[in-house]
Amino acid sequence: MDFDLSDDHRLLRDTVRDFANQEVAPVAEALDHEKRFPYEIVQKLGGLGLMGIPFPEEYGGSGGDSLAYALAVEELTRVDSSVAITLCAHTSLGTQPIYLFGNEEQKREWLPQLCSGAKLGAFGLTEPEAGSDAGNVKTRAALRDGNWVVDGAKQFITNAGTDISGVVAITAVTGENDGRKEISNILIPNGTPGYEQGTPYRKMGWNASDTRPLTFTECTVPEENLLGPRGNGFKQFLHILDIGRIGVAAMGVGLAQGALDQALAYAKDRQAFGQSISKFQAIQGKLADMATEIEAGRLLVYKAAMEKDLGRNFSLTAAQAKLKTGRLAVRCAEEAVQIHGGYGYIEEYPVCRMYRDAKILTIGEGTDEVQQMVIARALGA
């Protein structure tokens, strides 16, 4: 068993770390405060090949693996979660469905644009009554005269409403089989009549990312926009969610590590009672626990990524990683704020933003309760 990263993986990690520190960190506070989407950063990420890490070079991707992707997400989240979720949702949710289930024509049309970062991809699954109960889809698509006519609504959708958003893959009910919903996935390009992006949500965190509701009113797209076989939508999006959990779990590790970075630097600099507060046992205990739990969570994320790359069933490990690191991010952000004392409650300090950003990691891509359900079922409970 080899715990060392390859030279290529280390180079990627260090490259993304340098980019995050030099390009993202200086503007992260302003982007969050102004709720401004980071167009310039996304363009640079595309230029570095990071928007298409896990996709083949023949489609414009970087030809990397899931571990490389997890490393990049971790390093970005270490500095800013909004930038990280933009890449994460675009890659895992927006682009993966087209790569995994699209036909060759769909791949050739969309993947080069998405992998370069010229266009952003989005995934429309969640609805007002279809969150944790993901199969309770109400959006419908009827086949008429060689076109899909879509009516319905989605909510909490990332990357669908920016100036560079290109396409959203939505789940819709396309019929019934033996009294059960037939769910399929359909590609809806931005600019299609009847497809409207709502006003961005006012969120607790992730303020520089794009999250908003979508509505479809007699939205008509060609029959060829069906993504994968008709009726396979439920099975397809469950697989996409498994992949997405690796990315969100990597975000949890990254945020926790970023919180530790900030807490350690502050503790070493802050003086009290004639010495650095990092010398006090109470502070050392917090830092030691954070570092230990982060390393355990990181190894779980890496294991999930490597299982996927080896073609093994990674659903259990991805759920465990996501459950572990989401909770860890919340705890580490809270401890980092506590170590900062009053300054931790001030927006000028990154830990304040991290504290707000952390909570969604226990909700998005399946709540903690859903992860527990997935894990328990895998155990045979």
Which are the catalytic amino acids? 365
CA dihedral over 283, 284, 286, 287, signed as positive or negative: positive
Q: How do beta strands 147-158 and 211-222 pair?
A: antiparallel
Whole-angstrom CA distances from 125 to 168, 290, 369 are: 10, 34, 18
Tokens of 254: 């990254």
Find where tokens 């889809």 sit: 137
Q: Residue 164: how many CB atoms within 10 A of its CB? A: 17
Q: What's phi and psi for 246, nearest 5 deg?
A: -65, -45
Closest CA to 328 of 302, 303, 307, 359: 359
Residues in Cβ contact with 75 at an 8 Å cutoff, skipping those fewer than 6 apart? 13, 16, 17, 20, 254
CA dihedral over 32, 254, 100, 57, signed as positive or negative: positive
Tokens of 82: 């909004």
Q: Which residues of 231-253 are buried (b: 16+ CB within 10 A; e: fewer)?
A: ebbbebbeebbbbbbbbbbbbbb
DSSP H or E segment with residue 357: helix 350-358
Alpha-carbon distance of 313 to 344, in angstroms, equals: 41
Tokens of 53: 């890490």
Alpha-carbon distance of 166 to 91, in angstroms, equals: 13
Q: What share of the chain is helix, strand, coil (3-state, %, to 5)?
A: 55, 20, 25
3-class DSSP state for residue 294?
helix
Q: Residue 87: how many CB atoms within 10 A of its CB? A: 28
Residues in Cβ contact with 274 at an 8 Å cutoff, skipping those fewer than 6 apart? none
